Every structure is written in structure tokens, then in C-alpha cells.
């Protein structure tokens, strides 16, 4: 953070003054811009490259009450070899699980290069005490999670208690630290901050929450838990991409963006890449700074990939369900 933002979080008044001083977002204009970018036509070689890049950006996710070690192991296998029949298919970026299943995922992915992300902080509602949230985070971090996907306290945000949101994020960021962690994991986990934009309702709020999360030290800002609709819409993702672009210009620090929830087709995934390309710039076209939180989109990407390779339309029976 540059000095100009040093005192921004000193009080609710200071935070409010700062966040409400950000330029507004006109909803209709933002929707139109996103829709226009959605008309970009990405074909042939560009499409092939985009599909592989999208696969490399996937955070393959399972966040269900019915999750089991077996389910997680199967998903991890898929993450490493999305298409067992085609070794040229790249690995996904990460798998994303609940904290109690992190150890299973870490074991299954050891040495693969696929990262383990865990949701935390009383996901998805975030309605618990900070102590519980910190403990939840530590549990996941100590189990070996590389990335923590926390939720912000939307209630606090909507009631104007920006300091509370800010301080929770800094506390969780601290809990992501890992003294004497395993080799390669000494620096602690990366923090993704879920804004749950579907509950924030306005694009102005999305922009403010994005800045709040970035000011508090988040490494990524993420749209949604996947449990609330609407989730990762194109305009919301675009507003967040504008925020990271402006934050980099203001502070020199690049923050990543992760749309999550509702991305089901290759077309959607490629549209997201177009947004990244034309809004934040191609500097963000890397799994280090852009992820797609999804599960079903992977098979569609694989089917499209096969179609590009063989010229035939693919069928779901030829891809694994995990």
C-alpha cells in the first residue's frame, strides 16, 4: 500500500469517505459494455489457445454437505489429468474444498503442481465470530491449503461497518501466515476474498467492496460463494477487473480476480477471458491473477477442445464426471 492509503482504514468515517469517493458505476453502461465484449468472436487458433488457458485457470470446486474424501480424491485425479485420454490437456489451477477435506486434497495432489484452495470463515454466510473464522482458516492452512477463499461479512458491509470488514480480512490474512510450514509452503496461503456480489446488490458496492478487500491485503477478489444468485455475472466480473486495474495503477500491487458460480460453458469461459483481456489487460491472463471458480465448465472445455482437435462434436459420455 502506498502512503496515500495508509490512513484510509483508521475509522469508519475515513473508510466511508474513501470508498464513497471512488467513481460510481452506471449499471446500464456497465451492462452494455460487458454485453458488447460478449459479442467478441474467438475462433480457430485463438479459441484453441483460450480453451487451454481457461483450463489452466479453473479452480475445480466441490462445496457440498455431501462431500467425502472419496469425492475429493476423484476430483483431484481429474484436476491433474482432466482428460485421461489426452495427456496434452493442461492441469487445472487448483481444487477448492471445505477445510476439513484439505488434507485429503493435499495428499491426492502432492507433487502435481495443482494448488489446494479451501473456503473458510464460516463459509458461505460468514455469520460467526472472528475467533471461529480465524480458527476455521488456521485449520485449513495447517492442513496444507495453498489458498484460502474467505467470505466478507456482508451484513457489516451493508450496514456501513467497513472497519469490521477490513479488520476481519486483515485478521484472516494474518491467519494465512504459516511459520515453519512445509517446504514450498513457508510463505503461507494466498488469500482470496469473496465479496458475494449477489448480496451486495449494486455495482457501486461491488467496486467499494473490491477496494476494501484489496486495501486490507487480499491477494484475489472473488465474486461469489456459488451459493447465492446471481453469482459471477459478466458485468460484475468486469467491475472487479476495473478495480484491480485501478488498484495496480494506484499502488503497484496486482490483485487477482476470480469469478465463481454460474460459469458453465466454454463460451462463458472465453467471454471471461475477453473481459480480462480488454478491461484489465493481458497482464491478468495468467492463473496467478485470474481463476475460474467452477466445476461443470471443465467438461465443456474438454468437449470443445476435442471438437477443435477432431472436427467432430463431442459427447458427455466420453468425459469423466468427477
Partner 1 sequence: MFEYAPAPESRDVVDIKPSYGLFIGGEFTDGTGTPFKTVNPASEEVLSEVASASADDVDRAVRAAREAFGTWSAMPGSERAKYLFRIARIIQERSRELAVLESLDNGKPIRESRDVDLPLVAAHFFYYAGWADKLSYAGYGPSPRPLGVAGQVIPWNFPLLMLAWKIAPALACGNTVVLKPAETTPLTALLFAEICRQADLPPGVVNIVTGAGETGAALVNHPDVDKVAFTGSTEVGRLIARSVAGTRKKVTLELGGKAANIVFDDAALDQAVEGVVNGIFFNQGHVCCAGSRLLVQESIAEELLEALKRRLATLRLGDPLDKNTDIGAINSAAQLAKIRELSDHGELEGAERWSPACALPERGFWFPPTIFTGVAQSHRIAREEVFGPVLSVLTFRTPAEAVEKANNTPYGLSAGVWTEKGSRILWMADRLRAGVVWANTFNRFDPTSPFGGYKESGYGREGGRHGLEAYLDV
Partner 2 sequence: MSRTESPARLAVRKTYKLYIGGAFPRSESGRSYAVTSSKGEFLANASRASRKDARDAVAAARKAFGGWSGATPYNRGQILYRIAEMLEGRRAQFAAELADAGTKRPGDVVDAAVDRLVWYAGWSDKIAAVAGSANPVAGPYFNISSPEPTGVVAVVAPDDPLLGLVSVVAPVIVTGNTCVVVASERAPLPAVTLAEVLATSDLPGGVVNILTGSAKEIAPWLAGHMDVNALDLTGVSDPGLAVACEEAAAENLKRVLRPAPADRADDWAADPGTRRLTAFLETKTVWHPTGI
Q: What angle (nearest 5°) sits at the alpha carbon of residue 318, between those of residues 317 and 322?
A: 80
Per CB under 8 A, the list member of 4, 202, 229, 296 interacting with partner 2 is 202
- Interaction between residue 39 and partner 1 (CB under 8 A): yes
- Interaction between residue 40 and partner 1 (CB under 8 A): yes
Helix (H) / strand (E) containing 94: strand 94-97
Question: How many angstroms separate the Cα of 50 from the Cα of each of 44, 57, 303, 305?
Answer: 10, 10, 14, 10
Per CB under 8 A, the list member of 11, 24, 127, 309 interacting with partner 1 is 24
Number of residues that bind partner 1 (CB under 8 A): 27
Please indicate whether residue 258 is annotated as part of the active site: yes
- Are 115 and 94 in contact by the 8 Å Cβ rule? The answer is yes
- Tell me the closest approach of the beta carbon of residue 29 to partner 2, in angstroms: 7
- Are 103 and 117 in contact by the 8 Å Cβ rule? The answer is no
Residue 201 binds: one of partner 2, partner 1, none (C-beta under 5 to 8 A by kind)? partner 2
User: What single string gives the DSSP state of each residue in 188-236?
Assistant: --EEEEE--HHHH-SHHHHHHHHHHHHHTT-SEEE---SSSSS-S-HHH
Please indicate whether residue 317 is annotated as part of the active site: no
Please indicate whether residue 133 is annotated as part of the active site: no
Q: Catalytic: which of 258, 268, 271, 300?
A: 258
Residue with cell 510450514: 181
- Interaction between residue 201 and partner 2 (CB under 8 A): yes
Q: State the binding string over 24-43 for partner 2 (x if CB under 8 A, else -).
A: --xxxx-x------------
Residue 176 binds: one of partner 2, partner 1, none (C-beta under 5 to 8 A by kind)? none
Q: Please compute, for residue 242, the number of CA atoms within 13 A of its CA located in the half-sphere on the CB side.
A: 19
Query: What's 149's DSSP letter?
Result: E
- Interaction between residue 59 and partner 1 (CB under 8 A): no
Q: Catalytic: which of 146, 149, 204, 268?
A: 149
- Interaction between residue 252 and partner 1 (CB under 8 A): no
Helices (H) and strands (E) in the chain, counts: 13, 8
The residues binding partner 1 (CB under 8 A) are 23-26, 28-30, 32-33, 39-47, 50, 242, 273-274, 276-278, 282, 285
Kindly list the catalytic residues: 149, 222, 258
Amino acid at each position: 500500500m502506498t502512503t496515500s492509503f495508509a490512513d484510509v482504514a483508521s475509522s469508519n468515517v475515513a473508510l466511508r469517505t474513501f470508498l464513497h469517493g471512488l467513481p460510481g458505476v452506471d449499471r446500464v453502461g456497465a451492462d452494455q459494455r460487458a454485453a458488447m465484449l460478449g459479442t467478441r468472436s474467438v475462433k480457430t487458433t485463438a479459441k484453441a489457445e483460450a480453451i487451454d488457458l481457461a483450463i489452466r485457470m479453473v479452480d475445480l470446486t466441490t462445496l457440498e454437505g455431501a462431500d467425502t474424501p472419496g469425492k475429493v480424491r476423484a476430483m483431484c485425479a481429474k484436476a491433474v489429468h482432466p482428460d485421461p485420454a489426452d495427456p496434452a490437456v493442461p492441469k487445472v489451477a487448483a481444487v477448492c474444498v471445505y477445510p476439513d477435506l484439505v488434507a485429503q486434497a493435499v495428499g491426492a495432489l502432492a507433487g502435481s503442481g495443482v494448488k489446494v484452495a479451501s473456503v473458510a470463515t464460516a463459509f458461505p454466510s460468514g455469520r460467526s465470530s472472528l475467533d471461529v473464522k480465524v480458527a476455521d482458516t488456521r485449520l485449513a492452512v495447517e492442513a496444507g491449503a495453498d489458498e484460502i477463499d474467505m467470505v466478507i461479512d456482508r451484513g457489516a458491509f451493508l450496514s456501513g461497518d467497513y472497519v469490521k470488514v477490513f479488520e476481519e480480512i486483515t485478521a484472516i490474512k494474518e491467519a494465512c501466515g504459516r511459520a515453519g510450514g512445509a517446504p514450498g509452503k513457508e510463505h503461507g496461503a494466498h488469500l482470496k476474498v469473496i465479496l458475494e456480489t449477489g448480496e451486495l446488490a449494486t455495482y457501486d458496492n461491488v467496486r467499494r467492496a473490491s477496494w476494501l478487500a484489496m486495501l486490507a491485503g487480499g491477494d484475489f477478489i472473488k465474486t461469489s460463494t456459488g451459493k447465492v444468485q446471481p453469482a459471477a455475472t459478466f458485468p460484475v466480473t468486469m467491475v472487479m477487473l476495473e478495480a484491480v486495474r485501478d488498484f495496480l495503477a494506484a499502488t503497484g500491487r496486482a490483485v487477482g480476480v476470480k469469478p465463481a458460480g454460474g460459469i458453465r460453458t466454454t463460451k462463458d469461459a472465453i467471454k471471461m477471458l475477453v473481459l480480462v483481456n480488454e478491461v484489465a489487460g493481458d497482464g491478468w491472463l495468467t492463473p496467478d491473477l485470474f481463476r475460474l471458480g467452477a466445476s461443470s465448465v471443465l467438461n465443456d472445455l474438454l468437449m470443445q477442445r476435442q471438437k477443435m482437435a477432431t472436427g467432430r462434436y463431442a459427447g458427455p459420455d466420453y468425459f469423466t464426471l468427477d
